[in-house]
Amino acid sequence: MTRIILLLFCLHTLHAGAQLLITDLQVEAQSDNVLRYEIDLQTNVPARTYAAFEQNGQIRHSSISATGVDHQLTVYGLLAETDYELTVHAFDPSGQTTQQTVEFTTGSLPAGLVQPAATLGTSVDSLDFVSMDVLFGNNQQVQIFDRNGRTVWYQLLSVPGIPCLGYKWTKNNTLLYLHASCHTIEEIDLAGNVLRQVEVSNFPVQYYVHHEFLLNQAGNLLVLVAEGRTIDKSSVGGPADAQVVGDGFLEIDWQGNILKKWSAFDHFDPLTSVDLNNYWDEHFGPGAEDWLHANSLAIDTDGHYLLSMSIPNQIVKIHRETGEILWTLGQGGDFTILPPDAVFAGQHSVTGLGDQHYLLFDNKGGLADGAYSRTSEFVLDEAAGTATLVYTQEANQAIYTPVVGGAQRLPNGHTLTCFGQKGVTKEADENGQEVWSLNLANFSYRAYHLPTLDPAIAAPQPAAFCISPDATPFSPTVEPDGGYFTGDYIFDGLFDPQSAGLGEHQVWYTFGWESFPLTITVAEPMAAPAIVQVGALLTASGGSSYQWYLDGEPIPGATADTLLAEEEGFYSVEAFFTTGCGALSESVYVSLVSTTTEAAVQFDLFPNPTSGLVELRSSVALTGKVFVFDLYGRLIREDLLQETRNRSWELHGLPPGCYLWKLETQKGTAVKRIILQ
């Protein structure tokens, strides 16, 4: 149910008579990036601003500035060597808008920026984007391309390459990447601003971050780490001091504190390691054994972790709380792969799609000549112990990339595959047929799909208001603030209840380039509900629905007309009426302190529910008073108890419903409910 609140009124100080103007508009390319432009301007009154330009028939936008008179904006997503007409918009809460246009021409791309060798595509949405990287050589970079293969965004990086691989786009279109010899993770936005960074080389154990890092729901980082341990392998014919490099992952905050850790050494046998390569020699010494070579980490749709280990050709699902291994998929795993030729090897980029479906990039690494890489989707049947191939994108069996690469399921149901060693990214439809490709012709670690580069504007909340018909003109308070209202009975940005009259009225709230409908209900003021308190039991009346609050915060699920207080504090209730409007009660304080709980635990009422006869039973003799109330707090009867263990009452003649029995003794007070049928 959409929550509708009673709003008295909120007046904004408007600049009556001051026409909104834009002054001192300046546009200049960033010094180190020809596809990002900085915009500086001023407004004569407090306002918000944004910039817009047209590209590929679509209007693109910058972020919206904070309310003020000095404004800085950044536009990105531009093409090189292109003429642009940029329009800067300003708006204020009174509904004033103005704009100013400036023209400029973007420069040439840097010489070291890799450009696609070829782009092919049919029947694809040209308004989305694909990001690829080049993390090797002297021109390390991350780029975003439009569907015509043109660069619209780039960031030049300084990263040390293998094994310091990896970059990640977040759901907020921010970029995470490793740099400075894998010692630091940075997050930057599309405007090029460094939002935050964390040092990842000062852990108490020698961990080396590699391949994967991502944000979890709490905003912390999950990082894939290598860990070296000295293992006695003499029992299997190896040295007594073998340096084995295993993998694990950490959850860390942005101050570098370790919040959670998981290590393969605690769950797998390192005696199975084989020195297959010198991958970790530089960091863990000559002869260090690359045991598992984990290369991707993801959070499954149920919150558990998915870890890809390419040397044993296995995917491991790990419990998010206990760290227990829930299952393994792949060579020697818990599932039989069907059909048998669907087995994968050297896999990367494992993700959960939901309903036991899993997508991965099958490198076919280390297999015989004639092998080719592909994307595969499996559905698991845990009861039957099977993993069945239900989708594959094989790229006409023409591309083999034994290392790196990735796969991503797109919102339209298509699949994006990066054949990393070849620098080729392909999109295939639901049948695995290619519909688009981009050939960067350079070693690329991964590709990512970005639906848009535009900042998102969240719909304002709450979405409806109630107001008295004699209230003065007002502007509803919504977030994000700083927008303006339009519609009937809006004058100078204010809604006039007296002109509107009783009833529901729809207005529009415009923030930047988006407009949202809001409903304002003009209704006679509703009487605030009263709370009847009997001990810890609170009762409200008069509304058609309710929401209870403790110390001003809503209590989840507390929407009935009664509430049994479980904590001390100030309780209030909001009653909603058939008009959709509501009213808030005064607060009452509930204290749960009593001299003892003996009275509460040593008497009861039988039967409950009852058809009329009620019997009080106690294991000890009770002396005190019994009060019976209805739910409106009206006293129905009052009786004395004198050394009483059992007492009966006849309730015939009372209307059916819920009644409250309050027992007061020298040992304490207790309240119980009984239902009269």
| Sign of the Cα pseudo-torsion (276, 278, 280, 284, in order) | positive
CB 626 within 8 A of CB 662: yes
pLDDT at 87 over 50: yes
Q: Is 283 helix (H, G, I), strand (E, B) or coil?
A: helix
pLDDT at 329 over 70: yes
Round to the nearest angstrom and report the end-to-end CA distance of the chain.
31
pLDDT at 36 over 50: yes
pLDDT at position 45, please? 97
pLDDT at 203 over 70: yes
Secondary structure, 3-state, 380-426: EECCCCEEEEEEEECHHHCCCCCCCCEEEECCCCCEEEEEHHHCEEE
CB 55: neighbour CB atoms within 10 A? Answer: 16
Residue of 535 and 150 predicted with greater confidence: 150
Q: Which of 442-446, 497-501, 561-565 has the lowest mean pLDDT?
A: 561-565
pLDDT at position 161, please? 61
Domain boundaries, the chain: 22-105, 128-292, 532-590, 598-676
pLDDT at position 639, please? 86
Whether the full predicted model's pTM is greater than 0.95, yes or no, is no
Rounded to an integer, the average pLDDT of 205-227 is 93
51 pLDDT tier (thresholds 50, 70, 90): very high
pLDDT digits over 480-492, tens only? Answer: 999 999 999 999 8
CB 509 within 8 A of CB 564: no
pLDDT at position 632, please? 58
Q: Give the integer Cα–Cα distance in Å for 333 and 398.
A: 29
pLDDT at position 563, please? 87
**What stretches of 207-288 adopt beta strand conformation (E)?**
207-215, 221-231, 242-252, 258-263
Q: Which residue has the tokens 């004699």?
A: 470
Q: What is the mean pLDDT of the chain?
A: 88
Q: Give the integer Cα–Cα distance in Å for 93 and 491.
A: 11
Q: What six digits make up the tokens of 228?
A: 């070296």
What would the CATH number be for the domain defined by 22-105?
Answer: 2.60.40.10
Q: Give the integer Cα–Cα distance in Å for 72 and 74.
A: 7
Beginning with the edge strand found earlier in the chain, give each strand of the sheet holding 314-318 in spatial order: 294-299, 305-309, 314-318, 325-330
pLDDT at 2 over 50: no
Q: Which helix (H) or strand (E) holds 563?
A: strand 562-564
Q: Give the integer Cα–Cα distance in Å for 229 and 243.
A: 6
CB 453: neighbour CB atoms within 10 A? Answer: 19
Q: What six digits make up the tokens of 327?
A: 């299952």
Q: Is 342 helix (H, G, I), strand (E, B) or coil?
A: helix
Q: Does the fold of domain 598-676 match that of domain 22-105?
A: yes
Q: Give the integer Cα–Cα distance in Å for 431 and 418.
A: 18
pLDDT at position 464, please? 66
CATH architecture of 598-676: Sandwich (2.60)
CB 62 within 8 A of CB 38: no
pLDDT digits over 125-139, tens only? Answer: 567 999 999 876 667
CB 572 within 8 A of CB 559: no
- Of these ranges, 447-451, 596-600, 627-631, the one predicted with the greatest mean pLDDT is 447-451
CA atoms within 13 A on the CB side of 22: 24
pLDDT at position 10, please? 33
pLDDT at position 599, please? 40
Q: Percentage of the chain surpassing pLDDT 90?
A: 59
pLDDT at 105 over 50: yes
Dihedrals phi, psi of 69, to nearest 5 degrees: -115, -20
Rounded to an integer, the average pLDDT of 511-540 is 87
633 pLDDT tier (thresholds 50, 70, 90): low
Rounded to an integer, the average pLDDT of 438-452 is 93
What does the radius of gyration of the chain's CA atoms come to, in whole angstroms?
33
Rounded to an integer, the average pLDDT of 411-424 is 94
Q: What is the DSSP string of 80-121?
A: TT-EEEEEEEEE-TTS-EEEEEEEEE--PPPTT----SEEEE
Q: Give the integer Cα–Cα distance in Å for 118 and 141.
A: 19
pLDDT at 82 over 60: yes
pLDDT at position 12, please? 37
pLDDT at position 162, please? 66
pLDDT at position 163, please? 66
